[in-house]
Structure 1
Amino acid sequence: MDWRSMKFDWNRARAFLVTAEEGSLSAAARALGLTQPTLGRQVAALEEELGVLLFDRAGRGLTLTDNGLELVDHVRAMGEAASHVSMTASGQSRSVEGTVRITATEVASAFMLPAMIDRLRAAHPGIEVELVATNLLRDLRRREADIAIRTVRPTDPQLIARKLPSEVARLYASRTYLDTHGPFDAPEDLSEAQFIGFEDNVPFIEFLNGMGLGLAERQFAVRTAVHLVHWEMVRQGLGIGVMLSRVGDADPTVARVVSWLDPFEFEVWLVAHREVNSSRRVRLVFDWLVKEFCALPPAV
């Protein structure tokens, strides 16, 4: 290989890749923490260096040219290789000290993980934890997180996953709401009940109706995108909502709404990039979480 002929600038290539994936210079600049003019100059310099046009400018957006489409897969592979180098190097240099970023749902982050993290920190004080509480999926391959707790099995072959004990959720309402509007002894009794919905509420209604409840959209007059807000509204008596049974049953201000409805069971997966095997601190936290989740009392 002629090493002297290789003058490819990775910063320019990275600017091109992120711009292609984000769809505009402004979005790519935000993602990289650069100014838009700086990013634009890097992309233009790469085009000049290669002697090809990589983007067609259409209004405020950008679309890849044929040359850009041909190049982007190669640059993406370079990005993944660079990420592997970073993950391996940081794992070797930091040993069992340093930050591990965990992403989990809002409910798991608020009600399940704090005690687990407290015990982890007591046993391994060199480990620092950044907890990203979100119901959105984070991209482990781009290091948006080191470890993820998900309710669906990942399909990406670059990820490793460990199936944890399943969880169950049920319908809950405040005891004052049930005293006023209950009891709900049959599905038809719920026809006038108020439910707390979610921002994307159609799948939630379809799921509940698939369980035989026959609910109407008008019964979801209050909605929120945040599950913790959803739960607080339930606790304060605004209507019926859904929560993990291990959380709802432990709260004295609420009670299960119905006894005749089967619980909502779902899988739980602990996920990390395959490079977890080269990072002692990420491996330690991954194995710790497996032990903690498996030690929980069975969900009922």
Structure 2
Amino acid sequence: MTAPEPSWDFYRTFLAVLEHGSLSAAARDLGLTQPTVGRHVDALEQSVGAELFTRSQQGLLPTDAALVLKPYAETLASTTAALLRAASGSRDKVSGTVRISASEVIGTEVLPQILATLQAQYPELIVELSPSDAVEDLLQREADIAVRMVAPAQEALLARHIGTISLGLYAHRSYIERHGKPETIEELRRRHKMIGFDRQTAYIRTMLKRYPMLDGVSFSFRSDHSTALHNALRAGIGIGFYQTPLARRDVSLVRLLPEIELSIETWIVMHENLKTSPRCRVTFDALVAGLLDYVKENDAGGRP
């Protein structure tokens, strides 16, 4: 006799325990009691015929069986979330939920104003914004629309190329008052405090390939979160890269060594199956219009 399929609730609980490493933390996250979470894990273990967690001083550790199960549970989670977003909308009006994935900088610094205007126009539209430098899979419906800094390679996606966003070296005026302006790259390396990523990312490798003279620059402030780096720059901690359109909006930031410039291509991408969805269509169009205006600020006149 075939065993009954486990409830989706069991998989959701399983993912929460994986993330938090304890029944109590998973229970708080899910709004359940700890005994309920324990029963869900026990029931899933019985269904799959394998132990999923072992106890240790560090909490609950996933077994090999749990790690095998994890990507399938994540697919279920993203599919369920996409189903609920689709069910929340109407075929004839702009309503329901749309999930947007964007880089940390674009998601936190640029999109909120665009989305405020959009939601003022469509008050029944609900936006889920995921600002992260990790690329979410649109084919797996982890998001409905994405703002990406790489060209999409999957044929099932609709894509609009927005243009190029430039990045330059900037410092806060308070930093310059204390340390002065570097006039050469060598002076930048020897005398100034730099802000940068903790780990060498593709962005850093691109920068070093284009400007090898920056190799060996030591960072006095490091983080792998773009928002933290920007806040450190605005606090006057040191010199760092900043998107030119954002810098033009902040009179306290000063451009340094203008011969050093990076650029990132920008795309807006959506699964082709969503092109007939009113909520996704108007959101896609609003992002295109808003980010086209943002990219134009690269070449706008203003202070150096």
Range into which the TM-score falls when normalised by the shorter chain: 0.7 to 0.9
Give how far 1:264 is off.
Answer: 0.7
Which amino acid in structure 1 is aligned with residue 146 of structure 2?
A
Give how far 1:54 is off.
Answer: 5.2
Deviates further, 276-285 or 179-188: 179-188
- Please, which of 268, 271, 282 is the counterpart of residue 266 of structure 2? 268
Which amino acid in structure 1 is aligned with residue 106 of structure 2?
A
Give how far 1:171 is off.
Answer: 0.4
**CA–CA distance in structure 2, aligned partners of residues 175 and 258 of structure 1:** 15
**CA–CA distance in structure 2, aligned partners of residues 40 and 298 of structure 1:** 54
Counterpart of 1:234 in structure 2 is 233
**CA–CA distance in structure 1, aligned partners of residues 119 and 40 of structure 2:** 42
**CA–CA distance in structure 2, aligned partners of residues 141 and 29 of structure 1:** 30
* Contact preservation (8 Å) 1:25, 1:40: no
Of structures 1 and 2, the larger Rg is shown by: 1
**CA–CA distance in structure 1, aligned partners of residues 9 and 189 of structure 2:** 60
Counterpart of 1:91 in structure 2 is 89
Which amino acid in structure 2 is aligned with residue 147 of structure 1?
I
Change (3 A) 1:95 1:221: same
Give how far 1:41 is off.
Answer: 1.7
Which runs of no fewer than 5 residues in structure 2 stay unpaired?
Answer: 300-304
Counterpart of 1:220 in structure 2 is 219
Which runs of no fewer than 5 residues in structure 1 stay unpaired?
Answer: none
* Contact preservation (8 Å) 1:92, 1:278: no
Deviates further, 168-177 or 34-43: 34-43
Give how far 1:216 is off.
Answer: 3.5
**CA–CA distance in structure 2, aligned partners of residues 83 and 179 of structure 1:** 51
* Contact preservation (8 Å) 1:194, 1:221: no
Residues 102-121 of structure 1 aligned to structure 2 (within 5 Å): 102-121=100-119
Give how far 1:170 is off.
Answer: 0.5
* Contact preservation (8 Å) 2:144, 2:270: yes
**CA–CA distance in structure 1, aligned partners of residues 196 and 258 of structure 2:** 24
SS at match of 1:171: strand
Counterpart of 2:61 in structure 1 is 61
**CA–CA distance in structure 1, aligned partners of residues 145 and 14 of structure 2:** 24
Residue by residue over 1:65-101, the C-alpha shift from the partner in whole angstroms, topping out at 9 and shown as x without a partner, is 49x95x7787777666545543432234794123434
* Contact preservation (8 Å) 2:169, 2:239: yes
- Please, which of 183, 190, 193 is the counterpart of residue 191 of structure 2? 193
Residue by residue over 1:248-274, the C-alpha shift from the partner in whole angstroms, topping out at 9 and shown as x without a partner, is 13332222111322x211122323455
Q: TM-score, normalised by structure 2?
A: 0.72
SS at match of 1:192: helix
**CA–CA distance in structure 1, aligned partners of residues 125 and 35 of structure 2:** 39
- 1:14 corresponds to 2:22: no
SS at match of 1:267: strand
* Contact preservation (8 Å) 1:12, 1:45: no
SS at match of 1:197: strand
SS at match of 1:221: strand
Residues 1-300 of structure 1 aligned to structure 2 (within 5 Å): 7-11=4-8, 14-15=11-12, 18=15, 22=19, 26=23, 32-48=30-46, 52-53=49-50, 55=52, 57=54, 59=56, 60-65=60-65, 69=68, 82-83=80-81, 85-92=83-90, 95-138=93-136, 145-153=143-151, 160-175=158-173, 177-178=175-176, 181-198=179-196, 200-203=198-201, 207-210=206-209, 211-216=211-216, 219-261=218-260, 263-273=261-271, 276-277=274-275, 279-296=277-294, 297=296, 299-300=298-299
**CA–CA distance in structure 1, aligned partners of residues 287 and 84 of structure 2:** 24
Change (3 A) 1:215 1:74: closer
Residue by residue over 1:265-299, the C-alpha shift from the partner in whole angstroms, topping out at 9 and shown as x without a partner, is 11223234555346421232122212322344163
Change (3 A) 1:44 1:121: closer
* Contact preservation (8 Å) 1:95, 1:279: no
**CA–CA distance in structure 2, aligned partners of residues 175 and 74 of structure 1:** 51
**CA–CA distance in structure 1, aligned partners of residues 108 and 73 of structure 2:** 39
The count of corresponding residues between Structure 1 and Structure 2 is 291
Give how far 1:168 is off.
Answer: 1.1
Change (3 A) 1:111 1:39: closer
Change (3 A) 1:85 1:240: closer
* Contact preservation (8 Å) 2:6, 2:47: no
Which amino acid in structure 2 is aligned with residue 222 of structure 1?
F
Root-mean-square deviation (Å): 4.1
* Contact preservation (8 Å) 1:208, 1:215: no
Counterpart of 2:302 in structure 1 is none
**CA–CA distance in structure 2, aligned partners of residues 208 and 186 of structure 1:** 17
Residue by residue over 1:176-233, the C-alpha shift from the partner in whole angstroms, topping out at 9 and shown as x without a partner, is 544664554432222223334245244476554431333545x422234543443343
